[in-house]
Amino acid sequence: LGDGQDAFAYSLQAKEAADGRRTILADAAAKASESNAVAGVEAAPMPNEVNVIKPASYDAQRSAANIVASPLDQPLALSSYLSTAVQSEQPTRYDETERALNDIGFWNPAFRRHDQTSATGEFGSRCQPGNGTLHVITLIGKAPRWVSESAEPTTVALLIADRIISATGKHTLPPTIAAVKIARPEPCGHTMPTGSVQCLVGPYGANETASAPVTFSTVVDLNEVALASYHEHRDEEIAHAITRRVVKKGAVYVLKEAQSVHRNSFVDLGINVAGIAWEAMEQADTRSWRMLPARIDIARTELPAGRWSTTLQLSQYGSSRAPQTIPVQIENGRNTYVVCLIPEQDFTGHILVGGADNATIPVKP
């Protein structure tokens, strides 16, 4: 769109997001390193270093703390991959392309290792003269749904606390009967394993024997991302739930104090029952992006410019559909994209082709 300017704008936004997240990780790693140094966790000096006088700049010269990406950051690997493809369209953006390519390995090392060990070829203008790049992107499965779960230890702790306050305070509090709820991810259906999609690429109009296989690798697994998000934010969500519960109990206590309600009276009992019902109305926030796939796999290959045929089929998965054959035009120094949806066990909807063709091809029954 916009003579490619929209794509470059997206690329810059992706870079800013990746840089921002990397800064957060670097700050966290530096803080952890400083905490370890204060606690005396640093390795003891070597015997021949005990009496060595170090310059004042020694601390500044020490190596920076190691920064390790979390599975929570996998979506940045996809944005870095697309940014690499966009930047590679311009030979003058070699450095930007190289940085984006390195970012892929940082956010998803497994994908980058597969890239380096497979004959996937280069991106766009980084290809050999006369060649271009074909990217086959498959959106597989459905994103995990979020369901409610009870934080039982927290519920018991709250119950003990409110019973102590009720026994020693001026007014009673509603007992914690309703469990404290938080959200957790749950896989939606059965997602096909990586490698279930076979991709064959060959000259247009040639026999299938002339086609070569192209292997897929997972760039984003949203099941892993959701699980990492759950583990990283679980304590924070429990803290928020406890805060809301304490505020409600405090509101009940203030109401009794303002109305001069006597302990163990019918009014006191009625307010406690209302407080229990109020607490029971609280639900975990299970909202999620249900239109996202569970996993995004990408296959890439470098091809000479010209007309090619791409065949996609599901192997060993009981697919009832015929193989999907997509003609594509590879241009010198350019990127061509094939995007398909596999939410269940078959191809669905249309297959999108971006590049010289810019076409939408219905899935064959």
The predicted structure's pLDDT at residue 38:
63
DSSP type of residue 115: H
Please provide the DSSP assignment of 222-252 as one string: HHHHHHHHHHHHHHHHHHHHHHHHHHHHHHH
As a whole number of angstroms, the distance between CA 198 and CA 71 comes to 26
User: What residues does 335 pair with on adjacent strands?
Assistant: 133
Around Cβ 325, how many Cβ atoms within 10 Å?
Answer: 16
Structural contact between residues 305 and 278, judged by C-beta atoms closer than 8 angstroms? no
pLDDT tens-digit map of 259-293: 898 988 999 999 999 999 999 998 998 988 888 99
Query: What mean pLDDT value characterizes the chain?
Result: 85
Dist CA 138 CA 347 (whole Å)? 10
pLDDT score recorded for residue 339: 95
Q: Which of 69-83, 110-124, 174-188 bottoms out in mean pLDDT, i.e. has the lowest?
A: 110-124
| 174 φ/ψ angles, rounded to the nearest 5 degrees | -60, 130
Q: What is the pLDDT of residue 319?
A: 62
Residue 52 has pLDDT above 50, yes or no: no
The per-residue pLDDT for 10 is: 77
pTM comes to 0.82
- Inform me whether the pLDDT recorded for 64 exceeds 60: no
Tell me what percent of the residues of the chain surpass a pLDDT of 70.
89
> DSSP letter at 316?
S
Residues 140, 160: Cα–Cα separation, whole Å: 47
| Predicted confidence band of residue 29 (pLDDT cuts 50, 70, 90) | confident
- pLDDT tens, position by position, 218-265: 999 999 999 999 999 999 999 999 999 999 999 999 999 998 989 889
Looking at residue 118, what is its pLDDT?
Answer: 74
Say if residues 91 and 333 touch (Cβ distance below 8 Å). Answer: yes
Q: What b/e string do you get for 218-245 counting C-beta neighbours within 10 Å, with b at 16 or more?
A: bbbbbbbbbbbbbeeeeeebbeebbeeb
Judged against a pLDDT cut of 80, whether residue 324 lies above it is answered with yes
Q: Is the dihedral of CA 120, 124, 129, 131 positive or negative?
A: positive
Note the maximum CA span of the chain. Answer: 90
Summarize the confidence of residues 183-208 as an average pLDDT: 88
Q: Cα separation of 217 and 81, whole Å?
A: 12
For the cut 70, the answer to whether the pLDDT of residue 39 exceeds it is: no
Mean of pLDDT values over 329-343: 94
Contact 199, 241 (CB under 8 A): no
Instruction: Name the token pair of 81.
Output: 């991959």
pLDDT classification of 320: cutoffs 50, 70, 90 = low
Is the model's pLDDT at 54 over the cut of 60? no
Q: In the structure, what pLDDT confidence band is assigned to residue 61 with cuts at 50, 70 and 90?
A: very low
Lowest mean pLDDT among 196-210, 294-308, 312-326: 312-326
Q: Which two tokens stand for residue 130?
A: 């006369």
